[in-house]
Structure 1
Amino acid sequence: MERCSDADVLVTTRNSDVLSQMNAVHVKEMRKLRDLDALELLLKRSFRTKDEIHVFSDIGAKIVQKCDGLPLAIKVIGGVLSSRSTKEEWERILATRWSIVGLPKDIEGPLYLSYSDLSPQLKQCFLWCALLPQNFKIHRDVTYWWISEGFVKEENSGPLHNIAEDYYHELIKRNLLQARPEYIDKGISTMHDLLRSLGQYLSRNEAVFMNGMHDHCPPRIRRLGVGNAVEEIPAIEEKKSLRCLVVLHHDTCRSVKKDIFRKMVHLRILVLAGAGLQNIPASLGDLVLLRLLDVSYNEINELPGSIGKLTSLEFLSVLGCTKLAALPASLMRLTTISFLQIENTGLAQVPKGIGNFRQMDNLRSVFQNGVSGLKLDELGALSRIRRLWVIRLETATPPTAPILCNKEYLKELGLRCTMDKEASRRTHYPDNAVKRIEEVYEKLCPPPSLRYIFVDGFPGGTFPKWLSSEPQNLLPNVAHMHFYDCISCPNLPPAGQLPLLQVLHVKGADAVVSIGGELLGNGVVFETHTTAFPKLVLLEVLDMYNWESWSLSTDNLSDNIVEPVSQQLSLMPSLMRLRLVNCPKLRALPEDLHRISNLQRIHLEGAHSVEEIGNHPGVVWLKVENNMSLRRISNFPKLRLLLAQDCPELQEAENLSSLKVLYVVDCPVEQVLWKCFPEEQRNMLVRVVTSGAHSQDIYPLQSVFH
């Protein structure tokens, strides 16, 4: 720990030489896991049940000894063992060779074994991820890159993209990718730097990520990644064996040689994201084998017409190219395209012909605008579509018939009208336009296969029937539901009826004053189903400036519900995280919230009318920020981390007996709050007090007790 004038700097390293170079004040050496803790972690990561523990304990103890108490090693071996159901299979793993000649010491043993246990396809996908920068957030869309490389093999289990996503989740299950905990669906992950080192070592003769330190390109390189630390991109046109080029956030590529692509005839993947490009030469059309082109976040104002020659192209992204005003007509001839991402561009309209892309799997964001542009009816031809975002729906005319209800592969749907996000400058449409928009939404009823629904900027007074009337029948598989700036609907849809809903996010619903039983569902449903939100894990409500009251009571449900069932109604039994931000008129959290025993994390911010919060027996993490009236926090018996920022009236803290860390930022009565704790607890409590100037230091602590 190095002492600074106003803050401490925490540095983690595996290299002891770093400590001497930094003149560290305090060194904390992280010890290896004890044998019992290591065995418990192994059994947990291999998904053994309580009844199986005694069967695998002896052999498990021998395996963790070979892991030398290292958590990462135990996790990845647990991933290997998760598919082995007998003791004999575990013994074979123990007897397997855990290394190869020449493997560096820090990546041999369990890490190598976890790689060698993969199928040939998964090995290639794992090595590909090692090409990305350190700490890179790996989105599930990495699967499109794997498909472009030919790593994903067709099976009888469904479309290629579904198989690729199975690969992605298998790497997470085996702990070779680590899912970011804030993403419930595991849609974002990272790769541990030791696993990345393993991947880079194993692929060192054909794949390199250049970061400006001791960079060397093998003569027969097939995959090249270039980071922003590299001062000059090498002469890539001479690398004739190159199959994949990934340049990320390297803004020195403003001009590209006219003939740069003519020698790179074997290129399958070209990623030039955030590279500062102002033009793309016509020689792009010479890349006849190119399957994926990503030129996101560049300054280009057009794509060359020669793109129409790329008859193998399947994936195209121009995300964030705000100067791009039009797509070339030649693009519409490429019927092989299955992924088209055109969000946040300067496009005025999409040319007609989208309906010809019969292989289209992912379309973001398509829109109708003007007489010559796309018509919604064209989307009816996209029978294989899995992810679809349609924007500027205020310009659309209702399709002649429902166009989405028969899309059996559709998993994600985003519907957006243009809406000013500032509450004081909301976009208001005339009544006739609102009526037409409501008709459009009604005709966009999705199929039962849908898992993600995003409704953004809807100006209507009532949600479409497929959302507001028994959605459990029409949307039985929805797991993520997001409502942004639906400004005129006074009631939210009855999302409590959805049997698989895991995430509910509501933002900017200006007309909502009260939330009660209507969110849980009507009484007829609960005569036979006695659980509301049975799978909900995360509930987020943001920017609800007129919301005053919140009740989880069933008193105002339909009179058809019978009294015994009402008393037995279970509410959100799986809820773990609650986040309420900028709800200034909300007077209190619902009393029944204490019945949710799984709730572990609460974030309350900008709730200026809430005076106290308490009675949450399972919560271990609490953040209260910018709550002008909050004066009391009480009865959190398991709370371990409390973060309090800009709460000027906060003076009382009671029954926080398990608290380990108290982090206070800009709370004038901090000394009063400190005295609320018994002296013996104060002696054990980690207490951090800082000002708003350093309040960003609070955020790394959010995951301490996650």
Structure 2
Amino acid sequence: YAIYLSYGDLSPCLKQCFLHFSLKPKNTKIYDMQFVGMWIGEGFVHGNPDRLEELGFEYYEELILRNLVEPDMSYPGQYICNMHDVVRSFDQFVTRDEALIAHHGEMDNSKLETKGVESGELGWRSLQQQKSLRSIMLIGNFKVQSGDSLLTFSSLRTLHIESANFVALVESLYQLKHLRYLSVESNDIHSLPENIQKMKFLQHICLGGCENLVKLPANIVKLQKLRYLNLDNTCINSVRRGFCALTNMRALYGFPVHVEGDWCSLEELGPLSQLMEIGLKARLGAKMHLSLMGLYCSSRLGDDGLVKDGVTEKDQGIIEKVFYELYPPPYMEDIRIGRYFGRQLPRWMMSTTMEPLESLRILSMIDLACCTQLPDGLCQLPCLEFLNVSRAPAIKRVGPEFVQPYSAVTMLQWEEWNWEEEVQAMPVLEVLLIQRCKLRCLPPGLSTHARTLRKLSTYNVQRLHSLDNFAFVVELTVDNIPELTRISNLPKLQKLEINCCRKLESLQKMTALRRLMLTIQHSEKQLPLYLQTVQPSHLLLDCSPEILTSISVGKFGPEFDKFSHIEKVEAYSKDGDNVKKWYV
């Protein structure tokens, strides 16, 4: 009833966007920009044509504020949202005569304008029977037979496909003359139809993840209504002259930079004055609408996180110079740097020169193969909310100033974190993730000054021996910390997760602990003694069959004294891929 009231309070445009969101198949990752593109293509977003994306994001945020969709907290910036099963059921009830969801290849309704397909293998010809389709969102495999095409779907406005079987239908794409939104992720696609200009209403093209796509059709520059183009993770390494004709472009990702004689592809970006988001190598200071920037090189790191190929000083000098020229405008909100192999980050990121980036909220730096120092000026960014530093093998030492409200840090050779108690920093740190490094201890300044720290997670920190005196931490995870022997003095700790810490001997001063999740390696035949020193109300245990058998006999078992004081105990043991085959 509460959902019905919330739905009734929505404007007509928001109702359409809300109902459309329920077509998103479960357990799939579709970004906010993609949904906004679909809504614009379907005609759900009304207003000034120059502000359609902005209005679409306002709709998206309104659905979040009304708790009708839920941000996925695994991703920063509310870029990805999901829908609760109860809300989804309501949505699908309302759209029962207009939408169809196919699960495992079985379809439920015949009256159809929009279709979402979640999994299993669906016959393309079963879709061709639905000639009134306006939207298809298909995730998974489907059967394509000789003679199948897209010609049937003359009314189609939205096509979102993530499947390896789509290549057989690519050549008939041009027949979708009313298509507004096209998103394809398939490793089998090498090119798009040369007569793509016949799809003159196309506004949104996403080809991210088509790893074998090698070129764009020359006539793509004739798509005057195109507002979004994503070429990330493709093999496209050049564009033709004339790309500058796409003056309606609002978002551009994976734009290839190349030089032919005295011409550079970056020159094509000059007239694109409406750009709001961009992922490329270009001089960006004059792009007044930019809020997101992605800068990516070719990776120099192997799967183990270490440098796999030599990097010459000449190559480093060139890439450092290129990145320096990409000085972003001061109102940039989101910067993502990947696979950078210079020794130093761009000068506009270092020290006090970072101060002009006063609007920056999200900073992600992944695969910094040769970089030896993080920016000192991070502490001067007043709006920074999320920081991710991952796979930076050359960084061994940091100071106190680099952590922000949410921080995720992965640096394989990181050994030392200098931060004395008298140095004040990180007053608003809420979540801290440290993984895959060689830290021996966490600095005293962290436990003293990080008074808003609520969640602390450590994974594969090889030399860490203790965790002490975090007075405000409510949730703690320790995972595969081989040298950890002690966790103590966490008076507000409510949730503790311990995974495979074989040397852990002592848990002390955790008076507020409610839930303990403990994973013991299956080679261990006994429960740890430290269970007797804590008193959670709930113990969830993953253990060997031998320990599980001992627990199952209750007070007659040899392990009973270790857990008898705990109100609720759940224990399970896996068998092959079945994680909870044996359960007590």
The correspondence of residues 131-146 of structure 1 with structure 2, limited to 5 A, is 131-134=23-26, 136-141=28-33, 142-146=35-39
Compared with structure 1, are the counterparts of its residues 159 and 592 closer, same or farther at alpha carbon in structure 2 (3 Å cutoff)? same
CA 1:696 to 1:599, structure 2 compared with 1: closer, same or farther past 3 Å? farther
> Matches of 1:251 and 1:371 in 2, distance apart?
42
Q: Which residue does 1:578 correspond to in 2? A: 432
- AA in 2 matched with 1:587: R
Matches within 5 A, 1:47-446: 109-134=1-26, 136-141=28-33, 142-155=35-48, 159-211=51-103, 212-213=105-106, 215-218=108-111, 221-229=112-120, 231-253=122-144, 257=147, 260-369=149-258, 371=260, 375-390=265-280, 403-422=283-302, 423-446=305-328
Calculate the TM-score normalised by the size of structure 2.
Answer: 0.86
Letter in 1 for 2:134: R
Amino acid at match of 1:661: R
* Shift in CA distance, 117/448, structure 1 to aligned 2, threshold 3 Å: same
CA offset at residue 238 of structure 1?
4.6
Task: Report the Cα offset of residue 441 of structure 1.
Answer: 0.8
**TM-score, structure 1 normalization:** 0.72
Q: Does the 8 A contact of 1:411 with 1:451 survive in 2?
A: yes
2:520 maps to which residue?
666
Unaligned residue ranges in structure 2 (runs of 5+): 536-560
Alignment match, 1:539: 407
Query: Which residue of 1 is the match for residue 387 of structure 2?
Result: 504
Distance 1:281 1:634, change over 3 A: closer
Tell me the equivalent position of 1:476: 358
Distance 2:252 2:100 in 1: 31
CA distance in 2, matches of 1:695, 1:454: 36
- What is the identity, as a one-letter code, of the residue corresponding to 2:291? K
How far 1:129 moved relative to its partner?
1.0
Task: Identify the residue that residue 445 of structure 2 maps to in structure 1.
Answer: 592
> Are the counterparts in 1 of residues 150 and 175 from structure 2 also a CA contact under 8 Å?
yes
- Distance across 1 between alignment mates of 2:576 and 2:485: 24
Report the alpha carbon displacement of residue 382 of structure 1 after superposing the two structures with TM. 2.3
Number of residues of Structure 1 aligned to a counterpart in Structure 2? 545
How much does 1:315 deviate? Answer: 1.0
Partner of 1:676: 533
Partner of 1:459: 341
> Relative to 1, partners in 2 of residues 1:154 and 1:655: Cα closer, same or farther, differing over 3 Å?
same
C-alpha distance in 2 between matches for 1:256 and 1:298:
20
Between the aligned partners of 2:128 and 2:176, the Cα distance in structure 1 is 12
Alpha-carbon distance between aligned partners in 1 of 2:494 and 2:259, rounded to the nearest angstrom: 57
Shift in alpha-carbon separation, 1:278–1:256, aligned structure 2, 3 A: farther
Amino acid paired to 1:244: S
The one-letter code sitting in structure 1 at the alignment partner of 2:255 is V
CA drift of 1:152 comes to 0.7
Question: How far apart, in 2, do the equivalents of 1:601 and 1:696 lie?
Answer: 30
When residues 298 and 420 of structure 1 are mapped into structure 2, their CA distance, relative to the original with a 3 A threshold, is: same
1:379, distance to aligned residue in structure 2 (A)? 2.7
More strand as a share of residues? 2
Gaps of 5+ in 1: 1-108, 394-398, 521-532, 556-565, 699-706
Residues 665 and 690, structure 1, Cα contact 8 Å, conserved in 2: no
**Residues 596-615 of structure 1: matches in 2 within 5 Å?**
596-615=450-469
- Offset at 1:319? 2.1
- The one-letter code of the counterpart of 2:382 is P
In 2, the alpha carbon distance for the partners of 1:693 and 1:579 equals 31
Q: Whole-Å Cα distance in 1 between the matches of residues 479 and 219 of structure 2?
A: 53
Counterpart code for 2:247 = R
Farther-moved stretch of structure 1 (121-130 vs 488-497): 488-497
Shift of 1:451: 0.9
Equivalent residue letter for 2:240: P
| Helix, strand or coil at the partner of 1:159 | helix
Q: Tell me how large the CA RMSD over aligned residues is.
A: 2.8
Change in Cα spacing, 1:194 to 1:135, as seen in structure 2 (3 Å) is farther
Give 1:503-582 correspondences, 5 Å limit. Answer: 503-516=386-399, 519=401, 536-542=404-410, 544-553=411-420, 569=424, 571-582=425-436
CA distance in 2, matches of 1:697, 1:641: 22
| Residue 581 of structure 1: how far off its partner (Å) | 0.6
